[in-house]
């Protein structure tokens, strides 16, 4: 009898909880959540993006995907909507740097299928894996890398970027349609954890200049140039039965452990997703975002031997350890998953079923980087040097056609061509700044409960994101970089240091544009509080 009474009250209690949850979720202000993924792995070789040299993919290490999260609050045409799309790509072409525009290709397909969704409600971000298909340009591969795709592929089938972009856009749009169709009442919970994944990769030397990477085991090494941010901003999503449906994981690190791979890969996000699903269920979606991390990488700058040993002792040695290894990816995944799973019960107990939800997109004009004649002269001189090198290497191939039998024979030629092009863009940017001193960029600000998401299309140096986080009225501020085609946005300190990401050829904007981005983003955020 006692047991039955206890059972009755338990059932009654659960019914109330369930009823309350369902009632709340039926309210038109409730959040509706839909998820899907799209496999955007091509079925033939493609160019792999992320290095000066061309890489024609030589297989698939793991799938490259897009994860889609559809959010809606309210009903009808006036409902607030956000479509988040996170892609395992190095960047999202958006017309800013070249004619290619994967972002708009996706948007056009989605709004055609679902007219109630507006283009500016769709946000596409890249995780910055350096082992994914090239989407930055629709030009011919010869124009991009100085060697034709046919030559690189030696006559075998290969997919050009101009063919891959619509292929990926089709798949992603299908994913969006699926996620939108599957949206159901749900709730969210907001979490903050920590994981030491992104490390500042700029090494300041004693003579005052900086370099990207290099050997810190040197008397010339002074310090790590900038800061790091090891916060793990998390947003868990739940169905009305309090079952986890997916998680946004935002981390200040690009996913580029396997950055030299010729096999396609989502990098550490693949391992993270596999490990998370093992812990939290196969059906859980993971939407990865990179916070401002232009000066960060997952590569260990100091103490790499100790970390490599730990990777081995933790049982990850099977596919190698150390820099660029799968063991490093798995160790990163472990750190992220440990935090996400540790927080799981706390998050489950603190679900917000009716979070405030607002989304605003603004075209923000930012000052282009003001370049000097000396910058142009230096870059032009470098371009000439690389032109000569390119011509020499090209002639060698012409004179010795058998060279192309050698695997990856095109590496040096494509490096020289990329550096030649890189030198030439400086004078183009110098001239452009005179007539168009400002360049408009998309900034999305999305408030969900006490959290806010703020996007930018850059490889944004960490300090800018930190400034936004420090001044934001939100309890947690998720900065999402690379919601466009990229280009580094360095700090004044980094420009003085002069390392790779801060030189004229690497940048469209400078510190002035960075300061404007911070100010404008915060002004939009502040309107939501």
Partner 1 sequence: MASQLYIGSRTVDITPQLPVAVTGQFHLRIAEIAETPLIATVMVLETRGAEGDLAIMVSCDALYIPTDLVALVRQAVKKQLPDIDENKIFLNATHTHTAPVLALDGEYLIPKTGVTQVKDYRKFFVEKISAAIVGAYHDRSPGSVAWGMSYAVAGYNRRIVYADGTSGMSSKTNLPEFRSLEGSEDHDVNTLFFWNDQNKLISIVVGVASPSQEVEGRYAVNADYWHPVREGIKEKYGKDVNVLGWAAAAGDITPHIRYRKEADDRMRNLRNLSRTEELARRIILAVDESYDAVATERHSELVFKHQVEELPLPERWVTEKNYLEAKAFVTNAKEQIAEDPKAADALYRMMNWQERTVKRYEKQLDNPKPMYPMDLHVIRLGDIAICTNEFELFSDFGIRMMARSKALQTFVIQLTGSSDWGSYLPTQRAVNGGAYSAIIHSNIVGPVGGQVLVDRTVEVIDQLWDKEVK
- For the chain, what is the radius of gyration of the CA atoms? 24
Residue 203 CB, nearest approach to partner 1 (Å): 9
Quote the CA–CA distance of 253 and 239 in Å, as a whole number: 29
Residue 192 CB, nearest approach to partner 1 (Å): 5
Residue 9 CB, nearest approach to partner 1 (Å): 26
CB 255 within 8 A of CB 129: yes
Which CB sits closer to partner 1, 222 or 385? 222
Which CB sits closer to partner 1, 162 or 471? 471
Which CB sits closer to partner 1, 313 or 388? 313
Which CB sits closer to partner 1, 116 or 279? 279
Which CB sits closer to partner 1, 29 or 450? 450
φ and ψ at residue 509, rounded to 5 degrees:
-120, 160
User: Going by C-beta distance under 8 Å and a sequence separation of 6 or more, which residues neighbour residue 104?
Assistant: 94, 95, 119
Q: Tell me which residues touch partner 1 (CB under 8 A).
A: 191-196, 200, 216-219, 221-224, 226-228, 230-231, 301-303, 305-307, 309-310, 313-314, 335, 338, 342-343, 346, 349-350, 463, 466-467, 469-471, 475-477, 491, 493, 519
Q: How many CB atoms lie within 10 A of CB 7?
A: 10
Helices (H), 214-292: 268-280
Q: Comparing C-alpha atoms, which of 257, 187, 152 is closest to residue 22?
A: 187
Residue 17 CB, nearest approach to partner 1 (Å): 19
Which CB sits closer to partner 1, 56 or 468? 468
Residue 314 CB, nearest approach to partner 1 (Å): 5
Residue 307 CB, nearest approach to partner 1 (Å): 7
Residue 271 CB, nearest approach to partner 1 (Å): 17
CB 132 within 8 A of CB 90: yes
Quote the CA–CA distance of 245 and 185 in Å, as a whole number: 11
Which CB sits closer to partner 1, 59 or 315? 315
Name the β-bridge partners of 126: 87
Write out the E strands in 331-486.
357-367, 438-448, 451-455, 459-460, 476-480
Q: Are strands 199-200 and 221-224 parallel, antiparallel or unpaired?
A: unpaired
């Amino acid at each position: 009898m006692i047991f039955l009474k206890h059972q009755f009250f338990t059932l009654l209690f659960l019914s109330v909880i369930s009823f309350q949850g369902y009632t709340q979720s039926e309210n038109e202000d409730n959040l509706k959540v839909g998820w899907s993924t799209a496999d955007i792995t091509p079925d033939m070789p493609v160019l792999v993006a992320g290095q000066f040299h061309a890489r024609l993919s030589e297989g698939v290490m793991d799938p490259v995907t897009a994860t889609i999260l559809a959010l809606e609050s309210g009903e009808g045409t006036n409902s607030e909507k956000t479509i988040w799309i996170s892609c395992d790509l190095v960047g999202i072409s958006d017309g800013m740097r070249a004619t290619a525009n994967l972002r708009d290709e996706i948007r056009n397909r989605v709004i055609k299928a679902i007219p109630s969704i507006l283009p500016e409600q769709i946000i596409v971000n890249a995780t910055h894996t350096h082992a994914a298909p090239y989407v930055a340009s629709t030009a011919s591969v010869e124009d991009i890398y100085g060697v034709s795709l046919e030559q690189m592929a030696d006559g075998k089938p290969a997919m050009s970027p101009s063919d891959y972009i619509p292929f990926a856009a089709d798949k992603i749009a299908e994913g969006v349609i699926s996620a939108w169709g599957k949206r159901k009442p749900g709730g969210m919970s907001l979490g903050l954890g920590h994981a030491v994944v992104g490390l500042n990769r700029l090494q300041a030397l004693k003579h005052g200049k900086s370099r990207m990477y290099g050997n810190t085991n040197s008397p010339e090494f002074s310090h790590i140039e900038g800061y790091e941010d090891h916060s793990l901003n998390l947003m868990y999503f739940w169905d009305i039965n309090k079952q986890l449906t997916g998680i946004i994981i935002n981390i200040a690190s690009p996913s580029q452990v396997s950055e030299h791979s010729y096999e396609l890969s989502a990098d550490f996000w693949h391992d993270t997703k596999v490990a998370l699903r093992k812990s939290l269920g196969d059906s859980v979606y993971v939407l990865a975002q990179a916070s401002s991390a232009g000066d960060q990488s997952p590569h260990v700058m100091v103490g790499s031997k100790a970390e490599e040993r730990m990777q081995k002792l933790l049982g990850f040695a099977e596919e190698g350890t150390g820099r660029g290894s799968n063991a490093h990816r798995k160790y990163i995944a472990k750190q992220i998953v440990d935090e996400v799973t540790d927080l799981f019960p706390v998050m489950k107990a603190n679900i917000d079923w009716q979070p405030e939800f607002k989304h605003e997109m603004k075209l923000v004009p930012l000052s282009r980087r003001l370049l000097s004649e000396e910058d142009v002269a230096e870059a032009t001189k470098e371009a000439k040097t690389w032109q000569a090198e390119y011509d020499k290497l090209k002639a060698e191939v012409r004179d010795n056609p058998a060279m192309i039998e050698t695997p990856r024979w095109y590496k040096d030629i494509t490096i020289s061509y990329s550096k030649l092009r890189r030198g030439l863009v400086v004078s183009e940017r110098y001239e452009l700044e005179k007539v168009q001193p400002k360049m408009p960029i998309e900034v999305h600000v999305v408030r969900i409960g006490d959290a806010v998401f703020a996007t930018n299309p850059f490889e944004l140096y960490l300090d800018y994101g930190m400034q936004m986080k420090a001044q934001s009225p939100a309890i947690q501020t998720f900065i999402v970089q690379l919601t466009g085609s990229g280009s580094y946005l360095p700090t004044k300190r980094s420009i003085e240091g002069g390392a790779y990401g801060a030189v004229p050829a690497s940048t469209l904007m400078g510190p002035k544009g960075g300061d404007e981005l911070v100010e404008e983003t915060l002004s939009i955020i502040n309107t939501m509080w």
